[in-house]
């Protein structure tokens, strides 16, 4: 017989193995490097998308356009949407239009006044409407509106400005001049506040109603005297909804409720006094829910209504501080940004909600008469020194700051500062609420309740399966639990939202009883089995003894659900939910944290169980056999030898489960009400970071603030998982070093 070939001594075999080893090593190294590079690319791409929301604004001077009517004062300045045509409304009622490209005068219009009349007062409604009212010495008011028409002759855009006077002059008084006018108007209602020759203040409301027969608008007029008016009124403002009137006198702001003509009353007097500093300007923020008050020392205070025991009252909310006295302010049309300019030429762009100073620079403009934003807020027109100064404004993401993301913010109309996520609304002047705290809180809450449900079951099952269960049953149980991980989470979320949530709501006593009685029944069953005589124990083979618990658990669960209606009728008058809500004062949502905890727990259990079971089963047998040989019981061996040795793997299993729970999307999305609230109650819902991204990313405009904040939420989620995995690895290494000597 030929001698056996020694493969180990074969040069060709050694070279082949060496090549395979090198290729395997290179492949694994390359794969690891590529994974690391992919993570870095994701990290830096997220930063690239997020960075712009923390950038400031940019304001740059583009044009200086001189005007001819230098003997009157500007009341309103602005531009069309494309910033091609600038306009200036003078206190004489004349409107000048200028071409922004070359500064040429397009048109100068004069108001069509009745014969032998002159203007005694002028008022402007909110800047976005471009409406103005001219009070005459014969008691009439003429209402005008600045419009821009767009046409495309020869495929070239042509902006045509015009001034309309949509309705006939309104007769407010007879034979008296209209003085100190303020007004607001819409399609169906107009309100005027003015002063007569006897220094009496009046409110006149004109309401239009369409005649069904003639289809013509018929106007009815009502006038009432304003009560408790101050003597020296310096400035007046009326909200666009014609519900409130502000009168500034000295250091006080008088606020009138003018919603109903027959119930006009002085609702509040706000003391605006600040040491010896003079009030220099008062303006309304977009939406007219906030009042901005500027002072001679550069401080700007924001006030808005807050619910109090005496009703909704204006309170000081926040302030902004510039280096010198503020002379003029102007607010954007639809966002909470505003611009302020000081007597030293400091032009600052600020945003109230985020409390950011987005831009600040000095310009040599001289005396400023008026300011106004363009409709798209991408341009600012400043009237100073008989010139219209056109500024280009780049202010894409003013809503976001570190404090608005992670600190409590006092939003308009809220009783106190809060963490709020509300990215969209039906209102154009909506105040974006982009706090990430409710989403982070919801993520942690969902993960916590899921782990509270999953860890005891998964770790307990892993310990029993690996240490106590027979090999035959283990060969069935372990693959069965591991295959649960293949179940799509969308199915779990679907079942949790449409089946489990109503089931829990209608059987709350049964659910509470199950939480208590199932563990208790296991303990009692184990104790009774311990007391059972040996001859009866021998009847049941050791292989299948653990299966005896299944009918007991099923019987306990059936009993709990069967007796639930009787317990509910006996203790809670037949309606547990109403008892919890009305008697205990606890909010109850059908899709709540309990539902999420159970559903997500089932998704997390296979991950924790599989890793922990492998770790426990891999503990060398000589360690446990040696412990038992020295007289230790099985329980002592388990707790003092096996679990300590397997602790790195068990900890890794828990952290892997936590990572899975933090990143879970579909179950949280479908099994909760998706309400971004910060309540630990197990009976209330939440909104997680991942679920929020899944819900809102399809509807967010690319490049918008909302879009980039969603990427920031993804970045926070990325950091969370990276942090937990790093901590898990560090702790696992420490545990391995500590118990490796066992």
Which band of pLDDT confidence, cut at 50, 70 and 90, is reported for residue 322?
very high
Could you tell me if residue 4 is left (phi over 0), alpha (psi between -120 and 50 degrees) or otherwise beta?
beta
The verdict on residue 43 lying in a domain is no
The verdict on residue 568 lying in a domain is yes
393, 442: one domain: no
Cβ partners under 8 Å of residue 695, min gap 6:
669, 674
The verdict on residue 467 lying in a domain is yes
- pLDDT at residue 443, rounded to an integer: 92
DSSP-assigned letter for residue 274: B
CA–CA separation, 491 and 479 (whole Å): 20
Average pLDDT estimate for 106-117 = 90
342, 479: one domain: no
Q: Which residue, among 441, 445, 440, 452, has the nearest Cα to 657 in the 3D structure?
A: 452
- pLDDT at residue 9, rounded to an integer: 55
Identify the domain containing residue 193 by its residue range.
58-406
pLDDT value at 500 more than 80: yes
**pLDDT, tens digit (0-9, with 9 covering 90-100), for 357-379:** 999 999 998 889 999 999 999 99
The verdict on residue 50 lying in a domain is no
- pLDDT at residue 426, rounded to an integer: 63
- pLDDT at residue 429, rounded to an integer: 67
Q: Identify each DSSP E strand in 80-171 by its residue range.
A: 85-90, 95-99, 105-109, 119-124, 131-136, 140-151, 158-164, 170-171
The verdict on residue 720 lying in a domain is yes
Mean of pLDDT over the chain: 88
- Structural domains counted in the chain: 2
Q: Find which of 339-353, 517-531, 632-646 is predicted with most confidence, using mean pLDDT.
A: 339-353
Count of helices and strands (H, E) across the chain? 17, 31
Average pLDDT estimate for 123-151 = 91
pLDDT value at 534 more than 90: no
CA distances, 696 to each of 419, 584, 690 (Å)? 19, 35, 10
CA–CA separation, 204 and 188 (whole Å): 14
The verdict on residue 327 lying in a domain is yes
Report the 10 Å Cβ neighbour count for 616: 24
CA–CA separation, 143 and 166 (whole Å): 7
**pLDDT, tens digit (0-9, with 9 covering 90-100), for 299-316:** 999 999 998 888 899 999
Which CATH number do you get for residue 85? 2.130.10.10
Cβ partners under 8 Å of residue 131, min gap 6:
124, 125, 143, 144, 145, 185
632, 707: one domain: yes
Which CATH number do you get for residue 523? 1.10.3720.10
CA–CA separation, 282 and 280 (whole Å): 7
Q: What is the pTM of this model?
A: 0.86
309, 446: one domain: no
- pLDDT at residue 127, rounded to an integer: 86
* Sign of torsion over alpha carbons 345, 350, 356, 359: negative
Average pLDDT estimate for 314-324 = 93
CA distances, 554 to each of 287, 457, 521, 532 (Å)? 60, 17, 11, 22
Locus of tokens 């030929």: 2
pLDDT value at 461 more than 60: yes
Which band of pLDDT confidence, cut at 50, 70 and 90, is reported for residue 199?
confident
- pLDDT at residue 664, rounded to an integer: 85
CA–CA separation, 158 and 549 (whole Å): 84
Residue where a domain terminates, one of 391, 406, 421 = 406
540, 393: one domain: no
CA–CA separation, 420 and 404 (whole Å): 9
- pLDDT at residue 10, rounded to an integer: 59
**pLDDT, tens digit (0-9, with 9 covering 90-100), for 676-729:** 889 888 888 889 999 999 999 888 889 899 999 999 999 999 888 888 878 877
pLDDT value at 108 more than 80: yes
pLDDT value at 1 more than 60: no
Q: Which residue, among 175, 165, 245, has the nearest Cα to 205 in the 3D structure?
A: 245
528, 386: one domain: no
pLDDT value at 118 more than 80: yes
Six-digit token string for 522? 């296991």
643, 727: one domain: yes
Could you tell me if residue 129 is left (phi over 0), alpha (psi between -120 and 50 degrees) or otherwise beta?
alpha
Six-digit token string for 384? 């100073």
The verdict on residue 193 lying in a domain is yes
Six-digit token string for 679? 């309540």
DSSP-assigned letter for residue 532: S
Residues 82 and 157 sit within 8 Å (Cβ to Cβ): yes
569, 691: one domain: yes
Q: Which residue, among 662, 660, 661, 687, has the nearest Cα to 589 in the 3D structure?
A: 687
370, 443: one domain: no
pLDDT value at 735 more than 80: no
**pLDDT, tens digit (0-9, with 9 covering 90-100), for 32-85:** 899 989 989 999 999 999 999 999 899 999 999 998 877 889 999 999 999 999
pLDDT value at 89 more than 90: yes
The verdict on residue 423 lying in a domain is no
DSSP-assigned letter for residue 541: -
For residues 257, 259, 264 and 269, what is the CA-based torsion angle, rounded to 10 degrees? 0
**pLDDT, tens digit (0-9, with 9 covering 90-100), for 612-645:** 998 888 888 888 888 888 888 888 888 888 888 8
**Distance from CA of residue 694 to its chain's centroid?**
15
CA–CA separation, 626 and 641 (whole Å): 10
CA distances, 18 to each of 23, 73, 225, 692 (Å)? 9, 91, 102, 51
203, 266: one domain: yes
Q: Which residue, among 637, 459, 464, has the nearest Cα to 545 in the 3D structure?
A: 464
CA–CA separation, 4 and 156 (whole Å): 93
86, 180: one domain: yes
Radius of gyration of the chain (CA): 37
Cβ partners under 8 Å of residue 223, min gap 6:
172, 202, 203, 204, 205
Residues 404 and 397 sit within 8 Å (Cβ to Cβ): no
Tell me what percent of the residues of the chain surpass a pLDDT of 70.
97
401, 441: one domain: no
- pLDDT at residue 6, rounded to an integer: 56
User: DSSP H helical segments within 412-548, as ranges?
Assistant: 437-463, 471-483, 489-495, 501-506, 508-531, 534-537
pLDDT value at 183 more than 70: yes
């Amino acid at each position: 017989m030929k001698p056996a070939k020694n493969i180990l001594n074969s040069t060709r075999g050694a070279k082949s193995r060496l090549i395979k080893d090198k290729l395997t090593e290179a492949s694994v190294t390359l794969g690891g490097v590529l994974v690391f590079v992919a993570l870095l690319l994701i990290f830096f791409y997220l930063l690239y998308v997020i960075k712009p929301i923390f950038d400031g604004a940019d304001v740059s001077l583009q044009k200086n356009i001189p005007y001819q009517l230098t003997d009157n004062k500007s009341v309103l300045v602005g531009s069309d949407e494309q910033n091609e045509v600038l306009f200036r409304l003078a206190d004489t009622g004349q409107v000048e239009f200028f071409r922004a490209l070359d500064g040429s005068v397009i048109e100068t219009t004069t108001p069509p006044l009745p014969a032998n009349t002159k203007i005694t007062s002028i008022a402007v409604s909110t800047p976005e409407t471009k409406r103005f009212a001219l009070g005459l010495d014969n008691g009439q008011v003429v209402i005008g509106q600045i419009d821009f028409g767009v046409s495309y002759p020869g495929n070239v855009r042509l902006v045509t400005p015009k001034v309309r006077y949509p309705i006939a002059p309104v007769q407010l008084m007879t034979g008296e001049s209209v003085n100190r006018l303020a007004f607001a108007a819409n399609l169906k209602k107009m309100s005027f506040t003015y002063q007569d020759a006897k220094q009496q203040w009046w409110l006149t409301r004109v309401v239009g109603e369409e005649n069904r027969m003639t289809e013509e608008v018929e106007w009815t007029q009502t006038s009432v005297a304003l009560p408790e008016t101050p003597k020296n009124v310096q400035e007046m403002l009326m909200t666009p909804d014609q519900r409130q009137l502000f009168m500034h006198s000295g250091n006080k702001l008088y606020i009138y409720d003018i919603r109903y003509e027959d119930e006009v009353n002085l609702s509040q007097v706000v003391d605006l006094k600040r040491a010896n500093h003079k009030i220099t300007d008062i303006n309304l923020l977009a939406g007219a829910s906030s009042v901005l008050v500027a002072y001679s020392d550069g401080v700007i205070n924001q006030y808005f209504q807050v619910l109090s025991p005496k009703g909704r009252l204006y309170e000081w909310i926040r302030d902004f501080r510039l280096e010198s006295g503020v002379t003029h302010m102007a607010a954007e049309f639809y966002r909470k940004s505003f611009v302020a300019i000081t007597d030293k030429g400091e032009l600052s762009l600020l945003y109230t909600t985020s409390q950011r100073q987005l831009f600040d620079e000095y310009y040599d403009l001289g005396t400023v008469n008026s300011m106004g934003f363009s409709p798209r807020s991408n341009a600012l027109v400043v009237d100073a020194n008989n010139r219209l100064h056109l500024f280009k404004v780049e202010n894409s993401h003013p809503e976001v700051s570190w404090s608005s993301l992670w600190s409590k913010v006092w939003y308009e109309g809220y009783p106190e500062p809060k963490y709020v996520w509300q990215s969209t609304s039906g209102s154009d002047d909506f105040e974006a609420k982009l706090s990430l705290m409710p989403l982070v809180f919801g993520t942690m809450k969902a993960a916590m309740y899921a782990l509270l449900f999953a860890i005891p079951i998964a770790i307990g099952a892993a310990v029993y399966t690996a240490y106590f269960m027979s090999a035959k049953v283990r060969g069935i149980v372990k693959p069965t639990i591991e295959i649960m991980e293949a179940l799509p989470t969308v199915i779990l979320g679907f079942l949790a939202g449409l089946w489990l949530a109503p089931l829990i709501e209608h059987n709350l006593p049964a659910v509470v009883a199950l939480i208590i009685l199932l563990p208790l029944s296991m303990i009692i069953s184990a104790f009774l089995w311990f007391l059972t005589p040996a001859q009866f124990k021998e009847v049941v083979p050791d292989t299948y003894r653990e299966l005896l618990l299944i009918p007991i658990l099923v019987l306990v669960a059936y009993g709990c659900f069967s007796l639930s209606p009787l317990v509910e009728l006996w203790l809670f008058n037949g309606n547990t939910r109403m008892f919890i809500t009305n008697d205990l004062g606890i909010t109850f949502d059908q899709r709540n944290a309990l539902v999420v905890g159970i559903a997500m727990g089932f998704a997390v259990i296979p991950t924790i169980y599989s890793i922990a079971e492998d770790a426990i089963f891999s503990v060398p047998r000589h360690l446990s056999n040696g412990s038992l040989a020295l007289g230790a019981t099985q329980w002592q061996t388990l707790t003092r030898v096996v679990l300590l040795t397997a602790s790195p793997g068990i900890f890794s299993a828990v952290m892997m489960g936590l990572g899975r729970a933090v990143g879970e999307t579909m179950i949280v999305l479908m099994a909760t009400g998706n309400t971004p609230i910060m309540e630990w109650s197990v009976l209330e819902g939440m909104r997680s970071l991942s679920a929020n991204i899944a819900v809102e990313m399809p509807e967010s405009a690319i490049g918008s603030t909302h879009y980039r904040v969603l990427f920031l939420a993804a970045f926070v989620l990325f950091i969370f998982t990276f942090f937990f995995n790093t901590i898990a690895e560090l702790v696992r290494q420490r545990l391995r070093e500590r118990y490796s000597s066992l």
